[in-house]
């Protein structure tokens, strides 16, 4: 992870912080990671002077975005570089404190947009940790060897099991409501009642008790899975980790050996208005408040490589198209979120040969039993969910040279609108593959095509198993397209649509898009993100929390907060 400052030139305004999300173990400042066969130790050792922005100290293992960028890298690298790990123990390298949560002074000094994006990224990291448990046979156990508060307990909640040091002072708590006038920002309340099945009356007491709950009562209330005395705390947790690792290993196919691959740097070419990767390009126009993301599809050689089997796929490693391209897309989306706040509309294109993209999807799916391909597919799904959850408008433009097929059609289905060119002299094909049938699902557990056609079940049924390329009229008739345009109208109609969208209130659009993108039922993950968007966003701008006399603003000061007592 790195930060840069620009002086008087784009992509940032003068002296504006620019966050880079790429990091690796040699650059970690806040975490220590060690591996011993099937067991990993992940220790949180936050450098108090290592904040991503100046103006605050990261005391008591409190964290900011920089700390969480490193944690996200740890979770992802463990899946790809250390697939032999079956159990990971998350603990603290700081005596008597596990984690004090998100740094309060950082939150109080940050802009509203920074706070919300920080919470969202942190939440996505928690979800990826749970995804590793569910799909990568890597179980996380939290060893809370000290105070475990706020976001620290939310990190613990993302682990399958939580163990608390029983020393008379160590406690778990979610003190945001009583101390700060805000909510736990990374899914704590939802995981408390949905995941750990804590009774809601007890959850109410717990979430309004600033000092938290410790010892046997924490076990009785299901807040933790066990307690051990300080003298043998780590020994007991490691004993439990070895049992979990043995149980997970017993579930794997007999004789399966997993050898990791290294995730190298993406090294984009950076200009004042663009980031160019090997397969992805992000460019922007701040004056117009628009950006473009272009993804270049796989080549015939990429398809042939998949056909050679696991050995060739493993040798390709992080250069495999599906892994490299979606890692690049992920980096571009994060850059767009954090560093281009004025950009409201992103135009999405997928370039390539439609038949090659379809062949690629079939070949990749055919190798899904190989652990590395499974990880690649899971990663593709996580990146697409990052797009779903980004508070930007996305218009997919299917003009000449594009190939919205299969995994790349997911980009169009994730977008708010899909414009498609109908020009016989420049034929464009749209196609479905197995990747459009729930292989890379949305946060609420359904495919994007199902969400897209939520109100048109007949069209959805007609497309089931229809793995073929469609011409523009067929795609439109099938319900895949928002607006079908001929070559005469294309330029003017898309220009007007872009200008109109860029003129609308970004606040209203964020709320509208968050409502419209997720039709149907909910899951634990979708609840977490929906409630973050709807409630935490609102609470963060209320004077009771962030006003001059609000609880968050006055935290650590002698003055008491003054509340407006009216319920809204």
- Asked whether residue 558 is assigned to any structural domain, the reply reads no
Q: How many CA atoms lie within 13 A of 529 on its CB side?
A: 30
Cis peptide leading into 11, omega within 30 of 0?
yes
- Asked whether residue 130 is assigned to any structural domain, the reply reads yes
**Calpha distance 10→297 (Å, rounded):** 29
Quick one: 490 and 396 in the same domain? yes
For residue 555, pLDDT over 80 is answered with: yes
Quick one: 245 and 297 in the same domain? no
**Calpha distance 258→256 (Å, rounded):** 7
**Calpha distance 447→384 (Å, rounded):** 11
Among 251, 286, 320, identify where a domain stops: 251
Which tens digit of pLDDT belongs to each residue from 512-548? Answer: 998 899 999 999 999 888 877 667 777 888 888 888 9
Residue 568, pLDDT score:
77
Structure tokens at 541: 């701008």
Cβ proximity of 540 and 550 under 8 Å: no
Cβ proximity of 36 and 54 under 8 Å: no
Q: Which residue is listed with tokens 């805000």? A: 182
- Asked whether residue 352 is assigned to any structural domain, the reply reads yes
DSSP run (H or E) holding 311: helix 310-316
Residue 244 domain boundaries: 26-251
Residue 23, pLDDT score:
96
CB atoms within 10 A of CB 564: 12
Which tens digit of pLDDT belongs to each residue from 389-426? Answer: 999 999 999 999 999 999 999 999 999 999 999 999 99
Burial 42-80 (b: 16+ CB within 10 A, else e): bbbebeeeebbeeebebebbbbbbbbbbbbbbbbbbbbb
Which tens digit of pLDDT belongs to each residue from 279-302? Answer: 999 999 999 999 999 999 999 999
Which among 497, 405, 489, 412 is positioned nearest to 452, based on CA atoms? Answer: 412
**Calpha distance 237→365 (Å, rounded):** 38
**Calpha distance 338→121 (Å, rounded):** 10
For residue 209, pLDDT over 80 is answered with: yes
Which tens digit of pLDDT belongs to each residue from 242-262? Answer: 999 999 999 888 777 899 999
> If 0-12 CB within 10 Å is exposed, 13-18 middle and 19+ buried, where does residue 180 land?
buried
DSSP 3-state of 547: coil
* CA angle, 32 then 33 then 38, to 5°: 160
Q: How many CA atoms lie within 13 A of 3 on its CB side?
A: 14
The model carries a pTM of 0.94
Note the Cα 14 to chain centre separation in Å.
29
Among 478, 501, 516, identify where a domain stops: 516
DSSP 3-state of 149: strand
Quick one: 360 and 508 in the same domain? yes
Weakest mean pLDDT among 183-187, 358-362, 418-422: 183-187
Residue 3, pLDDT score:
53
Quick one: 221 and 129 in the same domain? yes
Quick one: 363 and 436 in the same domain? yes
Quick one: 492 and 418 in the same domain? yes
- Asked whether residue 556 is assigned to any structural domain, the reply reads no
Structure tokens at 61: 């293992």
Which tens digit of pLDDT belongs to each residue from 324-354? Answer: 999 999 999 999 999 999 999 999 999 999 9
Residues shown for the chain = 568
Which tens digit of pLDDT belongs to each residue from 300-312? Answer: 999 999 999 999 9
Phi-psi region of 556 (alpha: psi -120 to 50; beta: other; left: phi over 0): left
- Asked whether residue 153 is assigned to any structural domain, the reply reads yes
- Asked whether residue 526 is assigned to any structural domain, the reply reads no
Which among 20, 327, 42, 330 is positioned nearest to 158, based on CA atoms? Answer: 42
Q: Structurally, how many domains does the chain consist of?
A: 2
**Calpha distance 341→392 (Å, rounded):** 9
CATH number at residue 144: 3.90.226.10
CB atoms within 10 A of CB 214: 23
- Asked whether residue 104 is assigned to any structural domain, the reply reads yes
Q: Within the chain, what is the greatest distance between any pair of CA atoms? A: 77
Quick one: 435 and 466 in the same domain? yes
Quick one: 241 and 331 in the same domain? no
Quick one: 189 and 309 in the same domain? no
Structure tokens at 73: 């890298």
For residue 13, pLDDT over 80 is answered with: no
Cβ proximity of 498 and 347 under 8 Å: yes
Quick one: 191 and 315 in the same domain? no
Among 485, 501, 516, identify where a domain stops: 516
Structure tokens at 148: 């475990």
Quick one: 187 and 309 in the same domain? no
- Asked whether residue 66 is assigned to any structural domain, the reply reads yes
Quick one: 313 and 209 in the same domain? no
**Calpha distance 369→374 (Å, rounded):** 7
């Amino acid at each position: 992870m790195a930060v840069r400052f620009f002086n008087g030139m784009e992509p940032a305004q003068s002296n504006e912080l620019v966050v880079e999300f790429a990091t690796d173990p040699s650059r970690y400042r806040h975490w220590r990671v060690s591996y011993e066969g099937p067991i990993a130790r992940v220790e949180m050792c936050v450098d108090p002077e290592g904040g991503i922005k100046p103006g605050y100290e990261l005391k008591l293992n409190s964290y900011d975005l920089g700390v969480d960028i490193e944690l996200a890298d740890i979770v992802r690298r463990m899946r790809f570089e250390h697939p032999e790990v079956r159990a990971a123990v998350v603990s603290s390298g700081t005596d008597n404190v596990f984690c004090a949560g998100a740094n309060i002074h950082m939150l109080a000094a940050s802009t509203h947009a920074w706070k919300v994006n920080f919470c969202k990224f942190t939440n996505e990291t928690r979800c990826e940790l749970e995804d590793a448990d569910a799909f990568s046979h890597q179980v996380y156990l939290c060893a809370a060897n000290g105070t475990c508060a706020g976001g620290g307990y939310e990190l613990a909640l993302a682990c399958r099991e939580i163990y608390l040091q029983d020393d008379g002072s160590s406690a778990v708590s979610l003190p945001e409501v009583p101390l700060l006038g805000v909510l736990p920002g990374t899914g704590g309340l939802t995981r408390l009642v949905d995941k750990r099945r804590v009774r809601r009356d007890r959850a109410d007491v717990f979430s309004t008790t600033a000092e938290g709950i410790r010892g046997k009562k924490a076990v009785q209330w299901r807040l933790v899975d066990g307690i051990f005395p300080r003298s043998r705390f780590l020994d007991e947790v490691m004993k439990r980790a070895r049992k979990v690792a043995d149980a997970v290993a017993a579930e794997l196919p007999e004789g399966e050996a997993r050898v990791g691959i290294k995730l190298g740097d993406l090294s984009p070419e950076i200009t004042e208005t663009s980031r160019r990767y090997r397969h992805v390009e992000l460019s922007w126009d701040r004056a117009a408040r628009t950006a473009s993301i272009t993804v270049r599809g796989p080549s015939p050689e990429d398809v042939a490589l998949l056909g050679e089997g696991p050995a060739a796929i493993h040798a390709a490693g992080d250069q495999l198209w599906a892994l490299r391209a979606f890692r690049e897309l992920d980096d571009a989306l994060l850059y767009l979120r954090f560093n281009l706040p004025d950009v409201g509309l992103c135009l999405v294109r997928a370039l390539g040969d439609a038949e090659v993209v379809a062949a690629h999807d079939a070949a990749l799916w055919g190798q899904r039993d190989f652990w590395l391909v499974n990880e690649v597919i899971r990663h593709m799904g996580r990146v697409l969910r990052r797009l779903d959850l980004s508070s930007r408008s996305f218009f997919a433009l299917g003009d000449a040279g594009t190939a919205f097929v299969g995994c790349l059609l997911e980009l169009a289905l994730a977008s708010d609108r899909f414009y498609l060119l109908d020009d016989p002299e420049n034929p464009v094909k749209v196609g479905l593959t197995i990747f459009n049938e729930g292989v890379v699902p949305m946060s609420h557990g359904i495919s994007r095509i199902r969400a897209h056609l939520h109100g048109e079940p007949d069209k959805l049924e007609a497309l089931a198993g229809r793995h073929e390329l469609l011409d523009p009229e067929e795609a439109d008739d099938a319900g895949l397209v928002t607006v079908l345009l001929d070559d005469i109208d294309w330029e003017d109609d898309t220009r007007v649509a872009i200008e109109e969208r860029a003129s609308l209130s970004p606040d209203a659009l964020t709320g509208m898009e968050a409502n419209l993108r997720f039709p149907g039922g909910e899951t634990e993950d979708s609840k977490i993100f929906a409630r973050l968007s709807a409630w935490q966003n609102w609470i963060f701008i209320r004077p009771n929390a962030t006003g001059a006399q609000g609880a968050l603003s006055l935290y650590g000061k002698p003055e008491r907060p003054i509340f407006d007592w009216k319920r809204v």
